Amino acid sequence: MKEQDRGVRWFNTRFYPHYCTGRAARYEVAVLPRLRQEAVTLFTPWGPRYDYADRGTRIRPGDKELTALAFLAHIWNRFGRCMPYKSWRWLFLGADIYGSRINSLPAPAVDEYFASFREHLAGLIPQAEFRLWSEFDPAASVLRADIAANFQQYFPPWLEAKAATTARNMGLGADHRPYLIERLTEATLIEQQFSPIKVSAVARHKDDHVDGELPRLYLVPPELQRPWMG
């Protein structure tokens, strides 16, 4: 059956095949149906700067963050030009809790970085909305407690082992369990409150099994992924 929404037809046949850098999650059952709606919400979480001691807490010209944001601004502008009859919203979520609570980064360093990020986001994508994950903490606490109490039901042993290895390699003293719990809590709450399409800034394997029912697109080139890591 021919796609009736001309913007979705453009996205499905021209845009997505060109920009896809990883297989989308829930493409047919959620991404395309949400694109057909009159109001579309995009969602991109953004991590803290772990190497702030070397790179500082402020984003400066030439930093990878700015190149990645410029790419996302290009995507945003293309959506607006090719689907101008839709109402667009893009929520960027600063993962401050991951930095200060889970990985023990100094809270001032995390706050300063996200203040700098907010400034640059406003300059490159003025229509974007920026919020910190900690703003959702009261609502997230109930989900977080449930996921923690039923940890083995949500996370297979191989994923837990992989997360533990990653935590050790980061050398930040991070416990892998809180990270997994927080990821699934975030994905579940954002899905419940916003019903967005996630435009991920990481590789797909970083999201699998921790993003719940979030429909996801992978458009960011590999060299620009995880820009907060430098």
Q: What is the pLDDT of residue 163?
A: 79
Report the distance separating Cα 114 and Cα 136, nearest Å.
16
Q: How far is CA 19 from CA 30, 119, 185, 224, in A?
A: 19, 27, 29, 13
Q: What is the pLDDT of residue 149?
A: 98
Residue carrying structure tokens 């042993």: 157
In the predicted model, what is the mean pLDDT of residues 97-120? 96
Buried b vs exposed e over 12-49: b needs ≥16 C-beta within 10 Å?
A: beebbeebeebebbbbeebbbebbeeeebbbbbbbbbb
Task: State percent of the chain over pLDDT 70.
Answer: 97
Report the distance separating Cα 167 and Cα 42, nearest Å.
29
Per-residue model confidence as pLDDT tens digits over 79-98: 999 999 999 999 999 999 99
Judge contact between 228 and 50, C-beta under 8 A. yes
Judged against a pLDDT cut of 90, whether residue 165 lies above it is answered with: no
Judged against a pLDDT cut of 80, whether residue 167 lies above it is answered with: no
Per-residue model confidence as pLDDT tens digits over 66-83: 999 999 999 999 999 999
| Average pLDDT value for the chain | 95
pLDDT band at 171 (very low <50, low <70, confident <90, very high): low
CATH topology of domain 6-133+194-229: Rossmann fold (3.40.50)
Q: What is the pLDDT of residue 170?
A: 65
Q: What residue segments make up the domains of the chain, in order of their start?
A: 6-133+194-229
Per-residue model confidence as pLDDT tens digits over 178-226: 999 999 999 999 999 999 999 999 999 999 999 999 999 999 999 999 9
CA pseudo-torsion sign 46, 213, 144, 208: negative
Strand order of the β-sheet with 129-132 is: 22-25, 216-218, 197-200, 39-46, 87-94, 129-132
Q: What is the pLDDT of residue 172?
A: 53
- C-alpha angle 219-222-223 in degrees, rounded to nearest 5: 120
Judge contact between 219 and 199, C-beta under 8 A. yes
| 221: Cβ contacts below 8 Å, ≥ 6 apart | 21, 71
